[in-house]
């Protein structure tokens, strides 16, 4: 964690004097953890109210499950799902930053321009929709650049690397250069893509080497919440993975995470407080 890193959200400068918590809310029927799903206006507001009251800094809205082998969702359906949620949330929460989890440029553009989304969270790093980088450059809002390969339907067949840490360092260097050459002047947040085109062993190697990616001087988002990298080690299901998630989030924080993307806000906030106190005691 580095306090020199900053991002601008809602005209406020976030300096990462402490890590931020991003709360996951999925407007989908098939996300891998059913506790993150919301369908109606009441469901959405109940989940957002709970996340905000527990200390969430950012709300992340997704309308297309990107779990391995997820079902295909057409662009109109995805767009309508996330924009409905944005409309509902903005009526109650004007100022909280909202991230849109999409790999489609048109969905991102509509969400930002018509419904006031603040961040684009693209699991594909601009690789699925080739219009995404150009759209991001025009919108000029913070962009979460994630590493993956293939699509949600094919990614788990694409886990061969020469050296996973070196390969992903090169991936980020190339993508960041492309964005800057397109004139993108806003903030980039890096996401190593835990669970995406990676084996369990590869996920933990990346987690142990997460601080290496501080070389870019950009905030690092860690999204390990209730994922298979936890469930395979513990032989459990996502619904029973809260304790494992807290342990994994703690490891992420100790290895340089600036943002935790989570299903369980209170526990993430508590992990941050414990790690902060622990690190302070070492000074």
Structure tokens, 157: 């067949």
For the CA atoms of 78, 84, 86, 91, what is the dihedral angle to 10 degrees? Answer: 180
What is the SS3 assignment for 188? strand
How long a stretch of residues is the chain?
A: 283
Q: What angle do CA 132, 65, 197 make, to 5 degrees?
A: 75
* Beta carbons within 10 angstroms of residue 30's beta carbon: 13
State the catalytic residue, choosing from 47, 81, 198, 261.
261
Q: Is the CB of residue 194 less than 8 Å from the CB of residue 207?
A: yes
What's the CA gap between 194 and 216, in Å, rounded? 19
Q: Is the CB of residue 97 less than 8 Å from the CB of residue 59?
A: yes
Closest to 102 in 3D by CA, of 144, 149, 68, 141: 144
State the catalytic residue, choosing from 227, 232, 239, 266.
227
Consecutive H or E run containing 47: helix 41-54
Q: Determine whether 227 is an active site residue.
A: yes
Q: Determine whether 261 is an active site residue.
A: yes
Catalytic residue numbers read 227, 261
């Amino acid at each position: 964690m580095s306090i020199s890193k900053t991002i601008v959200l809602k005209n406020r400068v976030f300096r990462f004097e402490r890590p931020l918590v991003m709360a996951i809310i999925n407007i989908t029927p098939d996300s891998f953890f059913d506790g993150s799903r919301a369908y109606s206006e009441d469901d959405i507001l109940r989940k957002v109210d709970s996340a905000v009251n527990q200390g969430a800094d950012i709300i992340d809205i997704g309308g297309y499950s990107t779990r391995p082998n997820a079902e295909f969702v057409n662009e109109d359906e995805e767009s309508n799902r996330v924009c409905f949620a944005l409309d509902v949330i903005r009526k109650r929460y004007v100022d909280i930053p909202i991230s849109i989890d999409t790999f489609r440029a048109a969905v991102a553009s509509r969400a930002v321009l018509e419904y006031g989304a603040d961040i684009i969270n693209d699991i594909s790093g601009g690789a699925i929709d080739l219009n995404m980088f150009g759209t991001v450059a025009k919108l000029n809002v913070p962009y979460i650049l994630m590493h993956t390969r293939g699509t949600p339907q094919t990614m788990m067949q694409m886990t061969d690397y020469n050296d996973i840490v070196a390969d992903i360092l090169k991936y980020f260097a190339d993508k960041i250069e492309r964005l800057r050459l397109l004139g993108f002047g806003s903030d980039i947040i890096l996401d190593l893509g835990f669970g995406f085109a990676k084996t369990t062993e590869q996920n933990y190697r990346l987690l142990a080497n997460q601080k290496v990616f501080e070389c870019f001087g950009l905030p690092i988002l860690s999204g390990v919440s209730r994922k298979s990298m936890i469930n395979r080690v513990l032989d459990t299901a996502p619904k029973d993975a809260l304790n494992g998630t807290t342990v994994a989030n703690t490891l992420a924080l100790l290895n340089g995470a600036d943002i935790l993307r989570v299903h369980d806000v209170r526990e993430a906030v508590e992990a941050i407080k414990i790690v902060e106190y622990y690190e302070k005691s070492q000074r």
